[in-house]
Structure 1
Amino acid sequence: MLSVLIPTFNFNTVSLVKEIYKQCVEAQITFEILVLDDASSLYLTENEEINRFTYCSYRVLNQNIGRSSIRNLLAQNAAFAYLLFLDADVLPVHQNFIESYVNEISKERYLVVGGICYQQAKPPKKEYLRWYYGYKRETKSAADRQKNPYYHFSSANFLVQKKLFLSIQFNVAIKNYGHEDTLFAFDFMKHAHQITHINNQVYHLGLESNEVFIEKSLISVESAWFLKKNGLIDDSFIKILAFYSKLQKFKVMNWLIYFVGKKAEPFICKNLVSAQPSLKLLDFYKLYHLIKLNRNA
C-alpha cells in the first residue's frame, strides 16, 4: 500500500523512523520505510539501527547526488502504489498521522500535502531566525494553503501516487539549494493534476544557525534566478521573481534598491542575527541579492 521515503543527509533519522513504523503497524497496513543517505559523514552508525526494523531499509550512497535526484531514486526503488515523502528532520504532530494519509489513499487522491509547523518553544538565539521565519511564514492551515494549492506545496511532507510522480519527478537541473519543490509543483500544475491540502502537519526540527539560514536564503534566490534564466518557471510562480518583474518598469527603483542594499548590508545582517530580526529586512536583502545577480550577469 504505502512506501515511506526519507532522504537524509547528516541527520539522525532514527526517531522519525520509529514513530512512522509504530503508526504504520497500528494502522495495520502493508508498508515499507526506505531511508536513503546522500553520502553523509555524520550519524552513519546511529542510522544503521533503522535496518533492524522489519520492512525498513537504510542505505548510504557513495557520492552526493542532490535533493532532487535522491527523491527520484527513492521513488524508483519504492514497491508500493503510494509514496509518502518526508524530510529527515521532521516529526509527526499527531498520533494518527499515517491513518490520516491512509484515509486520503482510499479517496484516490493524486497528491496530498500535510503541511509543516514549528514547536512553540523558542529556540536558542543562534537558531531564532529560522524558527521565526518558519513560525510566521510556513505554518499555515490546510484551508489557507488550499486557496493557492500549488504555491503552498512542500516536499517536506506529502503523499503522491507513484505512477503520477514518476511521470513528472523532481527536475535535476537544480544543483543548489532551494526551489526544487517549487518547480515540481509548477510542473504538476502544468499537467493539470489536483493538489489537496490537509491538516496533517509535521514539526520541522532541523533548525539551522542564523548565519547558515541567511546564506541558504540567498542561495535559494540564486536558484530562482536560475529557473528564470532557463525558462523553467513563470515569474508569477515565485514571489520574489514576480515582484522583480514589476520593478523592471522602474529602472530607478532597481538602482535605488541596489545602492541602499550595498550600504545597508552590515546593518541588515546584524539585525537578522539579533533577538528581534525583521522578516521584511530579510525580504529586502533577498531582493537586493537578486538585483545584484542581474547586474553581475
Structure 2
Amino acid sequence: MTAARAKVTDNAAWNGAGPALSVLTPFLRDDPDALLALLDEEAASVDGAVEVIVLDDGTRDPELTARLTARIRAMALPARLITLPANEGRSIGRNRLAAAARGGSLLFLDSDMRPDRRRFLRDWADLVAREDPAVAFGGFSLRQAPTDARFAVHRAMATRSECVPCAERARQPEKYVYTSNLLVRRDVFEAEAFDPGFSGWGWEDVEWAMRVSRRFRVVHLDNAATHMGLDTVAALAAKYEQSAPNFARMARRHPEIVAAYPSYRAAKLLKRLPALPWLRGRMRGAAEARWLPVAARAFSLRLYRAALYAEAV
C-alpha cells in the first residue's frame, strides 16, 4: 500500500513544529481519544518538544474517524492522524509511523495505555534532552486498569510477567521491552526496524529488542503507563493462537536467547506428549472455569499457550 492511499489530517500546531520527541500510537478499532486528551494536558510543559502521530490501521469506522479528527485538530500539541483504508499489521504500521515522525527520538505508546504520572511526556522529553538514549523502556502497570472479575486471569498473568520493577527489568534488558511504552532513537530504528514478517499478534517487539540489544544499550526507567486493555480468557487464548507462528519465527532467529524462556522449555516438554491436542483442550477449559482459583486458571492458560507453541517449535 502506498502512502498516497492514506488519509492524513494535521492540526494547526503541526506546521512549523520542530519536535525532539515523536509519540507514535497505532490502533485498530480501539479508541485512543482518552490517551490523546491526557497527553495534550502536558502541551505547555513540553514547550514544543513533543509531537503526536496516530495511525488508524484500517478500523474503517467513519464515526470514530470523525471524532478523532476533531480531537487532533483541537490539540495544543503538534498532532497528525493517519487513516489507512485497510489493515497493514503491527510491524508495518509502526514502520510507517516512524517514517512520518520528525523527532530524533520515537516513543511507541499503545492506544490503550494511560500515563501513570502527569509528568509522563515531560519526563520522557527530559530524558531525551539529558541522555539521548538509544533505547529506553518506561514500564508497564495495571494501576488504573479495570478490576472486573472477567479480567482477573489476565491481571494475574500480567502482574507476574509484565509489571516488573525497573531494577529487575534492567537485569534482563532485552526481555522486558514492549512497544506499549518504548523510546527508540531514530538512528537505532533506522538500523533495526520491526520485522514485517511477523503477522497478527505477539512477539514482534521482543524479537526486535533481541536484535537491538546486541548493538545498542537498552535502558530501563520508572515512567510507567497503565495497560487499560485487559482481556477475558477467551480473548487471550485467541491472541495466543495467533502468536504461535510468531513465537516460532523468533525462536528460529534467536535460539540461544529463546532457549532460556520458560515458555519455550515448557513447549519442548509438552511436544513429547502423544495426547497433546486433547490435553490442550483441557488446559483451555480449566483456564475458563470460573469456579477454579484465579492462580490455577492463570497457570492453566500459561500451559495452554505453551501447548500451542509446542506445535510450532
Name stretches of at least 5 consecutive residues in structure 1 with no aligned partner: 248-252
Q: Describe the shift of the 1:259–1:198 C-alpha distance in structure 2 as closer, same or farther (beyond 3 A).
A: same
**CA shift for structure 1 position 57:** 1.4
Aligned equivalents of 1:164, 1:121: Cα separation in 2: 32
Name the amino acid aligned to 1:209. T
**CA shift for structure 1 position 147:** 0.6
Aligned equivalents of 1:158, 1:197: Cα separation in 2: 10
SS in structure 1 opposite 2:219? Answer: strand
Residue of structure 2 equivalent to 1:255: 272
Please report the RMSD computed on the Cα atoms of aligned residues, expressed in angstroms: 2.3
5 Å-filtered alignment, 1:87-236, equals 87-105=110-128, 106-119=130-143, 123-190=147-214, 192-228=215-251, 231-236=252-257
Residue of structure 1 equivalent to 2:86: 63
**CA shift for structure 1 position 90:** 0.4
Name the amino acid aligned to 1:188. V
**CA shift for structure 1 position 153:** 0.7
Aligned equivalents of 2:280, 2:187: Cα separation in 1: 50
Aligned equivalents of 1:242, 1:266: Cα separation in 2: 20
- Per-residue Cα deviation, 1:30-76 (whole angstroms, up to 9, x for no partner): 22111010010343233222321241111211111100011111111
Aligned equivalents of 1:289, 1:242: Cα separation in 2: 11
Residue of structure 1 equivalent to 2:67: 46
Q: Describe the shift of the 1:103–1:282 C-alpha distance in structure 2 as closer, same or farther (beyond 3 A).
A: same
**CA shift for structure 1 position 246:** 6.3
**CA shift for structure 1 position 176:** 2.1
Name the amino acid aligned to 1:280. F
SS in structure 2 opposite 1:155? Answer: coil
Aligned equivalents of 2:51, 2:150: Cα separation in 1: 37
Name the amino acid aligned to 1:143. A
Q: CA contact under 8 A between 1:122 and 1:128: conserved in structure 2?
A: no
**CA shift for structure 1 position 84:** 1.1
Q: CA contact under 8 A between 2:280 and 2:307: conserved in structure 1?
A: no
Aligned equivalents of 2:50, 2:280: Cα separation in 1: 53
Aligned equivalents of 2:286, 2:230: Cα separation in 1: 19
Name the amino acid aligned to 2:66. T
Of stretches 93-102 and 50-59 in structure 1, the one that deviates more from structure 2 is 50-59
Name stretches of at least 5 consecutive residues in structure 2 with no aligned partner: 1-19
Q: Describe the shift of the 1:131–1:245 C-alpha distance in structure 2 as closer, same or farther (beyond 3 A).
A: closer
Aligned equivalents of 1:197, 1:123: Cα separation in 2: 27
Q: Describe the shift of the 1:209–1:244 C-alpha distance in structure 2 as closer, same or farther (beyond 3 A).
A: closer
Aligned equivalents of 1:205, 1:245: Cα separation in 2: 29
**CA shift for structure 1 position 187:** 1.1
SS in structure 1 opposite 2:282? Answer: helix
Name the amino acid aligned to 2:285. C
**Number of equivalent positions:** 285
Q: Describe the shift of the 1:12–1:113 C-alpha distance in structure 2 as closer, same or farther (beyond 3 A).
A: same
